[in-house]
Amino acid sequence: DQQVKQNSPSLSVQEGRISILNCDYTNSMFDYFLWYKKYPAEGPTFLISISSIKDKNEDGRFTVFLNKSAKHLSLHIVPSQPGDSAVYFCAAVSGTYKYIFGTGTRLKVLA
Amino acid sequence: NAGVTQTPKFRILKIGQSMTLQCTQDMNHNYMYWYRQDPGMGLKLIYYSVGAGITDKGEVPNGYNVSRSTTEDFPLRLELAAPSQTSVYFCASRNQGGGNTIYFGEGSWLTVV
């Protein structure tokens, strides 16, 4: 049972445009959500997070939106840059240790 | 800033062999984790530890063992390696009082043939 789903395995966006990466979850007990970025042959690196008591968190070009009623979160990258090309994982947290990761979306930003 | 360090980065094992993936962190984090990532899949939790001397199973613990004798180190032992254990392994850590962000090592690529 996939509790955290990223239904788009890949996404291509022109440089300068907005990238929108989506994530759906099924467990209403999740209380914290994170986005990680992963380059080939490297470990995932933390990008941005949001608590379930908020609906938006912004950090520079990156904004995460949380819609609890729809059990959906999204990551917006504006403007997209070629260096943003990577695999993006969303993760949901329940309790102290339970981090559930999605399968990832490969973003390609075209110059 | 070393962060979370994993060794080895690459390893080829024969079926039935054993090995230990090493993980050490220099951030004095209480929590440590081992994940595996198979192609096209998310990260699956193998084992985790909330402090020295305390470990517990995650989602996919079969075929693995861990120990946590110090705060810094969290080795993952593979006994009797099987082709199904071919994967990329990531160690991670976080601070108990430092929010929910976990920090990953660079990964260990393991192939069992």
Note the pLDDT tens digit of each residue in B49-67. 999 999 999 989 999 999 9
Contacts of B96 in chain A (CB under 8 A): 96
Alpha carbon distance B93, B96 (integer Å):
10
Alpha carbon distance B49, B77 (integer Å):
14
How far is the alpha carbon of A81 from chain B, nearest alpha carbon, in Å?
23
Contacts of A102 in chain B (CB under 8 A): 42
Given B41, B56, B100, which is nearest A93 (Cβ)?
Answer: B100
Closest CA to B62 of B49, B75, B77: B77
Cβ pair A100, A91 in contact under 8 A: yes
pLDDT tens figures, B4-39: 999 999 999 999 999 999 999 999 999 999 999 998
Q: How far is CA B92 from CA A33, A63, A96, B39, in A?
A: 17, 24, 14, 19
Cβ pair B88, B23 in contact under 8 A: no
pLDDT tens figures, B63-94: 999 999 999 999 999 999 999 999 999 999 99
Task: Please judge whether B40 and A9 are an interchain contact, meaning their C-beta atoms are less than 8 angstroms apart.
Answer: yes
How far is the alpha carbon of A108 from chain B, nearest alpha carbon, in Å?
16
How far is the alpha carbon of A103 from chain B, nearest alpha carbon, in Å?
4
A89 → chain B, closest CA residue:
B42
Task: Please judge whether A101 and B102 are an interchain contact, meaning their C-beta atoms are less than 8 angstroms apart.
Answer: no
Q: What is the pLDDT of residue B97?
A: 64
pLDDT tens figures, A36-56: 999 988 999 999 999 999 999
Cβ pair A106, A8 in contact under 8 A: no
How far is the alpha carbon of B27 from chain A, nearest alpha carbon, in Å?
16
What letter represents residue A87's amino acid?
V
Q: Is B5 exposed, middle or buried (0-12, 13-18, 19+ CB in 10 A)?
A: middle
A96 touches chain B (CB under 8 A): yes
